[in-house]
Structure 1
Amino acid sequence: MKSMMMLMLLLFLMPVQAGTPISEYENLLITEVVVTPTDAEMIEIHNKGGVTLDLTDVYLTDATFSNGNVYYYQVVSGAGGGGDFNDFFARFPNGASIAPGAYQTISINGSDNFFSTYGVNPTYELFEDGAGADTVDDMVEATPGSIDDDPGGTVAGVSALSGGEVAVLFYWDGNSDLVQDIDYVVWGDKREAVDKTGISIDGPDADAITSVYLDDTVIASQAVINASSHAGGNSWQRGNLNEGNETGSNGNGVNGDDETSEDLNNTFFEGLPTPNAAAGAPPAPNLIINEVDAVSSGGEFVEIYGSANTSADNLSLVFYDGDTDQVYQVIDLTGSSTDSNGFLLVGNTGLSPDVTIADDSLQDGADAVALYNIDASAFIVGDPVTVNDIMDALVYDSGQADDAGLLTLINPGQSQIDEGSNGNAANESMARCPNASGGSLNTSTYQAVDPTPGVLNSLCPLGDYYATADDTNATTLRNTLHEIIDDHIVFPYSAGTTDTWDVLSFADEDPNDSNLVWMIYKNNSYTWKGGGQQAYNREHTWPQSYGFSSGSLGDDNAARTDAHHLMLSDVTYNGNRGNLYFDDCNAGCTELTTDVNNGVGGGSGTYPGNSNWFDGDSFEVWNFRKGDIARAMFYMDLRYAGDVSGEVDLQLTDNPGDIQTGQPFMGLLSVLIDWHNGDPVDSIEQIRNERVYSYQGNRNPFIDHPEWVECIFVQGGACTTVGDDLIFASDFD
């Protein structure tokens, strides 16, 4: 009896095993997501730390309902998203845990589908999909009906992760006012993204005092893994267990991190699924050689281009001597990365490069430079040409003959590029035109142009851009031009990566000061401060309410984000314009004067002067910008023909009754034709066209060929082949 009492006393005095410290949950990550095919949908988690994590108070959800104002963090007040529209709001089973280094999977469509797809069982299934219980643990409903809310008993889990979605992994102890984010990933259109900034809420604790969430990253600036689904049979996998550029303080994460700030587009990659296991090796980053200047004293450089803030760790830049076809210089790119605009510059000191090379260290040709996805230690001077691990290459000369040995670096049939093709090698560089075009290991889009180290390649010669234009009649010209300018590169409206703010900062740059941006209506300039709420905003010259609003086609639809009609504007003037159609002022209009800026403007107070004018129906643009606006409208009518899913058929009209909210009409056509004729194309408009082209890869044909307006938009107008004798074009024979 005495020994039994002693044993009981010892057990009483032994310290009780404490639960998992909340700080350790920072090591729990979402590491893989499958969104297609439906049967294979799953989410994988990983414990990268050294402590086993208790998952009892850990939740996983893809459900946030902004329209219904229901969010996952409302679980503290007995609510929260989940169960509708095939979404789910789940908690891990009581007693569940994940060991250090372990990977676990949650099947969204049951273990049977999971096993038939991957040949292994998941760790958890969202719901029991078999006739009877199996050995795979089921997730628990976070709130009643948050996994299966169908009265008929049919589980809601089909296609849960497709489209625009968010997956949130978070911790809640069941008592506190606030949940604590563990990991947060977004893909698609960001419609279900979350920003808890300043939200005040009271949980089930005994007091009635509310608590307030710290700042999240605003949704417009949150990055997405990708704007569209991965290929069927693939997955998105985390290639960076350190969460990239995530903000590590003043957030709502378990250690105060801002989980909504991660640059997901850089930390996840697409590959073959690896359920319950570490990701495969990530592919080489999407970087190319974008511009090279080899014939320059003190201005030599190699410009690399890709996604913003992409790490170049373990990448190498290798230079080959055409005389020997051997390595003569190797540059280690580890520790460098592309900047916020996607550029990484390797060059002479005077260019303020990211990586410095000695003056006159590039050979003039026939020579080559190649980018490799392997550490620089793999090369030594004197090594022969190799294509192992190659990402991109440029073989070039300055008047020398082609080097067959070096041409093996690039794709078959691609050419060696002559920096001196214009007889001006010392003052020109070899650049992809338009910027980033042509594809890796291809040289077909390189041209000799003025050097633009570290910025977009612009003002590139047109070449045969309009070679397939057929101006036999209005129909053939419209159709062939549409095919030329269609399918342009679409940038997101607002994003943590390159978006329309970036495009417009370049397109609408003040020609006299690169730190300023030039406003379309007021004719003033503002210091560029980035996107968001500023004194300037983005003007849809073809109002988005007329055919392509974000509500109907999504935030990032092609027409809404198209910089050929999207222009920077003073906020007040943009508000005055609203969605008024364009027309000449007849009487009783309000004047919006212009500033004197860049040698033009200065409202006179007398109609029309150098002012904008508007009434309750229409808006008249000031004289210097009338043609610019008209040609933007002609472009939109031509570019958007309703022949692509998600795009509408935009049409110019002379009937004001057609121009209604939700309808794809704009005008007035006859007035815009007059504006086009009265305000011819100028160099400002030409440069803007080039700059938008350098991003989007398509041009406004009516800036390059103003004569095509008559052929397409004037009934009975002449369709004249470019290059025809202008005397005969004027009907004299």
Structure 2
Amino acid sequence: MKSTIIIFLVFLISLTAQSQLVINELDSDSDSIDDLEFVEIKSNTPNFNLDGYVIVFFNGSNSGGNKSYLTFDLSGYTTDINGLLLMGSSQVSPVPQYIIYPNLIQNGADAVAIYQAAFTDFPEGTLATQTNLIDALVYDTSDPDDTTLMSLLGETVQINEDENNNKDFESIQLNNDGVTYTVTTPTPRQLNDGMGIILNGLSISTTATQYEEGDTFDITFTTENAVAQDQSFGFTLNNAGFDAADFTGNTTLTILNGNNSVTTSIQLIDDAIDEGDEIAVIQLTNLPTDFIALNDQIELRIVDNDYVISSWGTPTNPTYGTVANTKPGGYYAAIDGLSNTNLTNALQGIIAEEGVVRAQTYADVIDILKEADQNPENSNEVWLVYLEIPRPKLDFQTTSNNVGTWNREHTYPRSRAGYFSIDDDDFADGKDIFWNTTADSLRHGNSDAHALRAVDGPENSSRNNQHYGQYTGPQNTQGSFKGDVARSVLYMAIRYNGLEIVNGFPENGAGELGDLATLLDWHRNDPPDDYEMNRNNVVYEWQKNRNPFIDYPELVEYIWGNEVGSTWENPLSVDDVNENAISVYPNPSSGSIFVTGIKSQFSLSVYNITGQKLNTLDAISSEEIQLNLPSGIYLIQLKTGQQQYTKKLIIQ
């Protein structure tokens, strides 16, 4: 008899626990980017411990198969004084106790459910079940009923969040009967019937969202109602590299009895060190129990005024010959004296050499581009291909909203090449962790930084997968990107088997990109500059291979252009040889020059910037030398005995 009573009591306790929790409110479709979506749980008693519970989201689409796509462990959380736990992004107001990323909750037909279970019981792809189920809500936004999902969860109705044709500004709310629902204006962190204890909302405000090192600014904290007694709380600004060494000011504050606000001044320290732009985050701490945060985790951009300016120019204001080529000695030795397929095969053997060349993750590319595409005029910015403007490195796109952000542009589009991402591509694991790769490793083209550029988000979408020639860039730009993207996709055609650059605009050819004639024209009219040489050097440090068409632009002609079939001979090295004793002047010149610092007779050879020899003549130091060259940038090779020197010359 005693055993029967114990079992009955355990059963009653179990029923009581299960009746404690319900899905109280759901906003699955809040606006265009869904950064205000949330789900709210309600317990019958306040301050209910949620240890041992999980909340699971199920995908009711054909592809989702009524299986789980998100699971959150509720252990460590409790409901508030009104029995509520709000889950949503930091953009929701009042601020949720449980912060999740924005734009995670799908719009339906889908479901959300509470289980008394372990997080590990619901790996992604778990079929909806009633085992250990506490409560469930099947919902949609004007979608057909998913009767299978309802049956799996033991539900008989599917609630339409869009029943009033206003889904972006309404939520599904459980009525007091615990059975029916109302679709109306969202009420996060409040009981749906408007009852309960009204908490005093606290908001954070600043006059701006961006400050420079050395600035002083105020942070004001304001409550909705004046406090009946002194109320103290704190906040932090720490975030990643931004910490207490970067500012001074009081971070423990008190709102005095009868008042509803307090202000503190923060002094940003100008440390004369380039740490890069940083984000400080205002985050509340030790909030009184009768307060509720209306906003929190407020981001402030701290602009570092100690940025570095490089010695070379941007693509729209290019310089030449300033950045030294860092290719190892003999790097291209294997292609010397070859032609046709022998030349391309040998070139591929260099830039796709197994055991030497490395493949990095797609996430690593973000770090590569921050270095390779750094704005020469400000080290805290990247230079955007196509738009030809800088953008802060901090503005990398992390949500579905790409306006004002930058992301990664595949110059050889994924859809035309056939490469793709895998799960491991989502992890940035650094320069020294990499995949082995070969010429047949086409998938690694997805993260090959020689063919990825920092790009404006909307412009990336605008280009989409158009062939070059179809896409010619935004209006009212210089087109400084044209030679760069031409050389990047020509590199890809040699680096990976299965890719080809062709004439025209093929729409059904897998592994084909056009237009070859356009790209050759772009290459010839926009030769490599210092910016491009620097990015070649940077990518080499990560991938251990180079883009040969930046190092030797004339190679393009021997593979696709007017020298096809001719024998390639490795041209004059244009590595920087700085001999202070030798001077070529005037520089810039109008057509004639003088050379000083060489005592004996010497030979002078003139090369264009692509390495093509134009003329050779003998000369004597200090005599006038007539070159008769059109305006442009040239390389002058001076030879005397066994020594040779290279100088850059500008003809106006």
TM range (shorter): 0.3 to 0.5
TM-score by length of 2: 0.38
Structure whose alpha-carbon radius of gyration is higher? 2
RCO (CA 8 Å, sep 6+): is it higher in 1 or 2?
A: 2
TM-score by length of 1: 0.34
Per residue, is there more strand in 1 or in 2? 2
